[in-house]
A = this chain, B = another copy of it.
C-alpha cells in the first residue's frame, strides 16, 4: 500500500485468479489483443475510466454489482405492472434490463396480441357495456404460490380502471384469460393470491351500485357498495372459473391494498378501507374536494375477512346471484362471522402480512408510523365478542386490543416488504425514502425499531424485495418504484419517465446501486422471483400449437397439406411458414369473400419466430416456433396487398412475402 501505483482501481491476473471464475477470467485476459503480458495497461485503463468518468468509489462498486456480462443471465425476474399501458414488464435483476413487455389488456402488435382471432376474443371477453376495451390500468401483479412460496407457474394482474383480472401463463409469458368483475367497476386490492393460489383476491376501489347501475350520489349510503371478490383459480385449466368465484358485499368505503394470510393466518385476507368518511367532493357546490374530505378522520379500517369460511358458505349453497356471479350479502357476511374491521390510522395504503403470518403491517399514508397488528390478538378479540359496529352493521374491533406495535418511520409510509434476516422495508412517499426496520415478536430482542433510511428519487410508491411478500423472503435486493424523475435522466419532453432504483440490502447499510428509467407506463407494483423458479418454454412443445388453449390445434396446417379451399364465398387458407417463405405464397380471392387464414410456423428452432403483416386488414401476427395462428376477415376492398414476414428471420427475410389479391 505504498507508492503511486497502489492507489486507484486495478484489475490484474492476481485479482481474478481467486474464486471459481478464475480460469475463465485469465483466459479472457489472454485472448484480448494488445493486452498480452501487459496486465498493467488494463489496470491503468480501469482506473483511468473511473477517473475520466467521475465515478466515485460507491459508483464503482455499484457498477460491478449490477453489470451482467454479455451472455450471462440475470438471477432474478421482476414482474412489474405496466400501469396505464395495460401490460406487464419483465425486468432482469441485478442488471435492471427490460427483458419483455407482455401484452395483457392492451393490443401489442409486435406480439400479434389483439390481432389474431384468439387474442381478439380474449380481449372482447374482457369488455364492458358490450364494447372491447383497448387499455387498462394494471396495478398489482401476483405470482402464483404453493405453500406460500412463489411457484413460477402463473401471474395474475388487475385492471383498476375497469375491475378486471388477467391470467398469464409463465410457460410462454402470454396472457390466457381476462375476466370482468360483474359487480364492481374499479378495483385496487388485487391481484393477491392465497397461499396455494386457491383464490385471487380483488378488492373494489371506488364504490358504485353493483353492476355500476345508475343511482344518484345522494343515495350513496343506500345504493353504493364495495366488494371483496375471490376469483377461483383452476390450476389444471390455467383459468379463473367465474362460476366458482364470489364476492362479499362490504360498505362503500374504498379498498386499498390487500394481502392473504399465511401460516397461522392462512384462510383469512386483509385489506385497507380508506375514505371511511364517504367523502364525495362537490367542489362547484362549495364542498371540500375528495382529497380533503377523505382525510378528515384519524382512523380508517383494516378489513379482516375469513375467506375460507366464506368459500364454505358458497359451497354450501349460500350467497345469491348478482349480475351473474355469486355474492354474499353484507348482513349474511356479518351473521356468518366472515367480516370484521379494526381501526387503523390514517388513509392506509399497504397491508402486508409478515413472513411468519403472525402480523399485519399497515402503512397509513398520512401517519408517520407503521402499525403492526397481531393476528392472534385479532382472533382473541373476535372470540371475546362485545365489539361495536359501524353504521352498516359491520363489527369494529378495538384498536388497542389488536395492535402489537407501532414504529415511527417518517412521512407518507405506503408499502412494506420483508427480507430473510428479520427486517422490513417500508416506502415513504413524502420523505422520498425507504425505511429499514427490525421486526419484533416473541424471542426477538429490540424488535419493532427503526434502523435506517435511504433516500430515493423521487416519490416512491411501492417497493419489491426478492420474494419479499412470501413465507421465505430471499433478501439481497429491494427495488423502489419511484413516481417522479424530474431531471435525473436525459430529458424526453414534458412526459417524464417513472423509475426503479435497485438497492443492495446485504450490507450493514443499504446501498443504492442502479437507476432504471421506465419509459413506458407507470409500474405500480412488482414482485421479484428467483429465475431458477421458472422453466419457460423456448419453443412450443409441438408443431401446430394453439397457444391460447395450450394444446395442439385440430387441423392445424402442416407441411404438404397447405392450400386454399373455396366454398362459395368462404375461403380457407392453410399456410405454413419457414425461413424464408410462406406456402402458398400468392393468393387471389373474390371481393366479399369471408376469409379464414390459418398459419403454422413449422420451425422448431429456438428464436425462429415469423411475423405476418397483411396491409389493408390491420393485421400483424407473431408466430413463434410451433405455433398455429388464425385470422378471419372479410376481403372487402379490391386491390393488391403484399403480405410479408415482420421478424427479421434470415438474410432473405425481405424476400419472405407473397401477394394477396382481392379481385373486384
- Check: A391 CB closer than 8 A to any chain B CB: no
Contact A494 B291 (CB under 8 A): no
Q: Which residues of B contact A110 (CB under 8 A)?
A: 82-86, 520-522
Among A18, A60, A509, A540, chain B packs the most CB atoms within 10 A around the CB of: A60
Contacts of A490 in B (CB 8 A): 73-74, 77, 92, 99, 531
Chain B hits for A18, CB < 8 A: 51
Interface check A177, CB cutoff 8 A: no
Contact yes or no, B581 A11, CB < 8 A: no
Complex CA distance for A497 and B62, rounded to whole angstroms: 26
Closest beta carbon of chain B to A652's beta carbon, Å: 4
**Per-residue 0/1 for A477-513: is the Cβ within 8 Å of any B Cβ (1 yes, 0 no)?**
0000001111111111111110001000000110010
Q: What B residues does A158 contact at CB under 8 A?
A: none
Q: Is there contact, CB below 8 Å, between A137 and B99? A: no
Q: Bound state CA distance, A257 and B397, in angstroms? A: 72
Residue pair A67, B74 in contact (C-beta under 8 Å): no
Cβ-defined contact, B11 with A137, below 8 A: no
Query: B654 to A134, Cβ gap below 8 A?
Result: no
Q: Which residue of B lies closest to A519 (CB)?
A: B100
Cβ of A648 under 8 Å from chain B:
yes
Whether A97 sits at the interface, judged by CB under 8 Å, is: yes
Binary CB contact string for chain A from 17 to 37 against chain B (1 if under 8 A, 0 otherwise):
011110011001100111100
Which of the 9-residue segments A208-216, A228-236, A382-390, A434-442 touches chain B? A208-216
A489 touches B217 (CB 8 A): no
Residues in B with CB closer than 8 Å to A205 are: 642, 654
Residues B581 and A281 in contact, CB atoms below 8 Å apart: yes
> Given A21-B54, A92-B490, A212–B5 Cβ distance below 8 Å?
no
Among listed A40-48, A262-270, A418-426, A467-475, interface-contacting one: A40-48
Chain B proximity mask over A82-94: 1 for CB below 8 Å, otherwise 0: 1111100110100
Within the assembled complex, what's the spacing in Å between the Cα atoms of A50 and B16? 8
Please indicate the chain B residues that have their CB under 8 angstroms from the CB of A33 in the complex.
508-509
Are the C-beta atoms of B584 and A283 separated by less than 8 Å?
yes
**Complex alpha-carbon distance, A651 and B364, angstroms:** 11
Q: Given A100-B492, A537-B493: A67 and B77 within 8 A (CB)?
A: no
A289: contacting residue among B62, B224, B486, B581, CB under 8 A: B581
Q: Give how many copies assemble into the complex.
A: 2
A366, CB-defined interface residue at 8 Å: yes
Known interface pairs A161-B615, A586-B282, A616-B128; A21-B55 also in contact (CB < 8 Å):
yes
Contact of A135 among B57, B115, B644 (CB under 8 A): B115
Q: How far is the CB of A376 from the nearest CB of chain B, in Å?
A: 31
Report A281-328 residues with CB < 8 Å from chain B CB: 281-284, 289-291, 294-295
A585, B185: Cβ atoms closer than 8 Å: no
Does A380 have its Cβ within 8 Å of any Cβ on chain B? no
| A517 CB to nearest B CB, Å | 5
State in angstroms the CA–CA spacing of A7 and B274 once bound together: 59
Query: Which of A142-150, A329-337, A606-614 contacts the other chain?
Result: A606-614
Give which listed residue, B208, B492, B648, B655, contacts A524 with CB less than 8 A.
B648
Residues of B within 8 A of A55 (CB): 16, 21, 25, 64, 67, 69
Interface residues of A in 583-624 (CB under 8 A from B): 583-586, 588, 606-607, 609, 611, 613, 615-616, 618, 620, 622, 624
Does the CB pair A496–B606 fall under 8 Å?
yes
Q: Is the CB of A28 within 8 A of B7?
A: no
A98-B282 in contact given A9-B11, A54-B20, A64-B53 (Cβ < 8 Å): no
**A118 CB-CB contact with B under 8 Å:** no
Q: Does A447 contact B (CB under 8 A)?
A: no
Whether A393 is near chain B, meaning CB under 8 Å from some CB there, is no
Contacts of A648 in B (CB 8 A): 459, 461, 483, 522, 524
- Interface pair B284/A562, CB less than 8 Å apart: yes
Q: Which residues from chain B contact A108 at a C-beta distance below 8 Å? A: 85
In the assembled complex, the CB of A146 is this many whole angstroms from the nearest CB of chain B, namely 21
Q: Is there a chain B Cβ closer than 8 Å to A6's Cβ?
A: yes
Q: Answer whether residue A548 sits at the interface, using C-beta atoms and an 8 A cutoff.
A: no
Query: In the complex, what distance in Å separates the CA atom of A274 from the CA atom of B624?
Result: 28
Q: Which residues of B sit under 8 angstroms from A536, Cβ to Cβ?
A: 491-493
Say whether A379 faces chain B, with CB atoms less than 8 Å apart. Answer: no
Q: Does A194 contact B (CB under 8 A)?
A: no
20 contacts between A and B (CB under 8 A): A15-B50, A16-B50, A21-B51, A29-B56, A63-B63, A70-B457, A82-B110, A89-B519, A97-B516, A98-B520, A100-B492, A100-B497, A100-B519, A129-B636, A161-B646, A214-B638, A291-B656, A295-B652, A487-B606, A494-B625
Pairs A-B, 9 closest by C-beta atoms: A21-B54, A109-B135, A8-B15, A7-B14, A63-B67, A173-B493, A206-B642, A100-B519, A289-B581
Other than A25-B55, A33-B509, give 15 A-B pairs with Cβ distance below 8 A.
Answer: A9-B15, A28-B58, A63-B64, A100-B519, A101-B520, A134-B618, A137-B613, A172-B494, A216-B588, A274-B654, A280-B586, A282-B586, A284-B583, A491-B536, A494-B624
